[in-house]
Structure 1
């Protein structure tokens, strides 16, 4: 359906859809790229960008804002967490900012979520922080992006695996179910990562960056107990500690540190001059580990929410 937003700009319309056509998805991706070039960071997360394509996703809605027929804004609302409020991301084309379009999208998100909303401000930009305040949202989560150099000499100690543990590369198709189970167990406290499904995994395996050689699985007595999935961002010349997960009953023995070192050494061997990762600011244990490995904060993503 199409919703005419009662705001200061005549000619502005917001269309709410359960799925996008291929052309609509391409138009949104093009606008996201223009915004990323202007802002230096993506306004919509990797998961959000994947959810633009491939048809309907349960719990995901898309908001297309047009002005005189031209697409100039986009928002995505994901209502899949059984406990937390729906999560949102939004973007306005850099050439059309400062005219209330972001506020119109934010108001549409508040209405669609029943004024129960969480919203990301990627990169923590001042305009995004201001919009959150205008919408009556309060800050409650800080996600840090850390970086460290991978240039020689590489000051990463030789990884030491716990007794009886071996490491091999992920085999697509063969290891999917076991990995999804360990990922869910390792991130049971983390609604975004722990809830990944086979479709989510398949989406990532279909991306150009996917390389099973950089997806390391740790096994003990034939059972998967941990992993380190790395990612190469070729255009940005960045290697990413994409996700490190350890099954709860295997935590505390140094496996996470060893897997992190294995992945960093792999990224360096692949030619990445810099490594990056994301970690919650309140995860002091993980922050300490990564800081000891030479990582420092590069930028932050902020999440705001309604107080109700």
Structure 2
């Protein structure tokens, strides 16, 4: 099990690394220091380290090498069927819906360091991923406009199949009309129909309104991925 180095760091960072779930805490700081030394990034650049499934002592371990936590991402899971009713959607059409989707995505995720930077080139790269299935990329149209989307992803693991809400958003122009919950449920219903054993998504730990919606649907907190950064 190795520490993963991202091909492209988020804006503001010179380097981004991810420590996968289950990585030995006995080796953590030694391996991180070695990875930092082996990288070609300048020593005075800002570095981000993600710890998947963060543990109680991780803050202390990362502090010992000059890193402090600044962002928590919850993984939440739910059983099928979800609580509530879905909403009518249609599947994404590559090459037709790209522009409208990118516009809504940019508005909905203007604050988000990763999703908000999605452009046509990155979108095309995602379409080439083995897991991509346009049937599971659901679009909500209201008043002849794209009002939201629920992009799903299926993870085939050794012991179960996990259906992920990979990205979901409602255009800010349509906020307050109650589309978020039924759109999420539509995505979960699709995932159940294609054989997923359970639903999963990631949400910022401080996004309390979204967490409340997800809890109402049936999601519960499963684990926390935590991001750290150094001081330069």
TM above 0.5: yes
- Residue of structure 1 in register with 2:30 after alignment: 100
Q: Which moved more, 1:108-117 or 1:221-230?
A: 108-117
- The 2-side partners of 1:239 and 1:90 are apart by 22
1:158 aligns with 2:88: no
- Residue of structure 1 in register with 2:138 after alignment: 216
Matches within 5 A, 1:237-248: 237-248=161-172
User: Given that residues 77 and 86 in structure 1 are in contact (C-alpha distance below 8 angstroms), is that contact kept between their aligned partners in structure 2?
Assistant: no
Three-state SS of the structure 2 residue aligned to 1:185 is helix
* Residue of structure 2 aligned with 1:174, choices 96, 115, 121: 96
- Residue of structure 2 in register with 1:290 after alignment: 214
| Alignment RMSD (CA, Å) | 2.7
Deviation string, structure 1 residues 73-108 (Cα, Å, up to 9, x no partner): xx3374452xx44451155997x9479332122355
Relative contact order higher in (CA < 8 Å, ≥ 6 apart): 2
- Residue of structure 2 in register with 1:192 after alignment: 114
User: Given that residues 110 and 117 in structure 1 are in contact (C-alpha distance below 8 angstroms), is that contact kept between their aligned partners in structure 2?
Assistant: no
* Residue of structure 2 aligned with 1:89, choices 6, 9, 17: 17
Three-state SS of the structure 1 residue aligned to 2:35 is helix
Three-state SS of the structure 2 residue aligned to 1:124 is coil
Cα shift at 1:182: 0.8
User: Given that residues 162 and 198 in structure 2 are in contact (C-alpha distance below 8 angstroms), is that contact kept between their aligned partners in structure 1?
Assistant: yes
Three-state SS of the structure 1 residue aligned to 2:93 is coil
Cα shift at 1:119: 1.8
In structure 2, the CA distance between the partners of 1:79 and 1:268, relative to structure 1 (3 Å rule), is: closer
Aligned residues: 227
* Residue of structure 1 aligned with 2:188, choices 264, 281, 291: 264
Cα shift at 1:128: 5.7
1:183 aligns with 2:105: yes
Structure 1: segments with no counterpart, 5+ residues: 1-33, 36-42, 45-74
In structure 2, the CA distance between the partners of 1:80 and 1:241, relative to structure 1 (3 Å rule), is: closer
User: Given that residues 102 and 131 in structure 1 are in contact (C-alpha distance below 8 angstroms), is that contact kept between their aligned partners in structure 2?
Assistant: no
- The 2-side partners of 1:281 and 1:86 are apart by 25
* Residue of structure 1 aligned with 2:47, choices 117, 121, 134: 117
What TM-score do you get using the length of structure 1 for normalisation?
0.66
- The 1-side partners of 2:44 and 2:7 are apart by 12
User: Given that residues 149 and 275 in structure 1 are in contact (C-alpha distance below 8 angstroms), is that contact kept between their aligned partners in structure 2?
Assistant: yes
Three-state SS of the structure 1 residue aligned to 2:146 is strand
* Residue of structure 1 aligned with 2:179, choices 237, 247, 255: 255
Three-state SS of the structure 1 residue aligned to 2:69 is strand
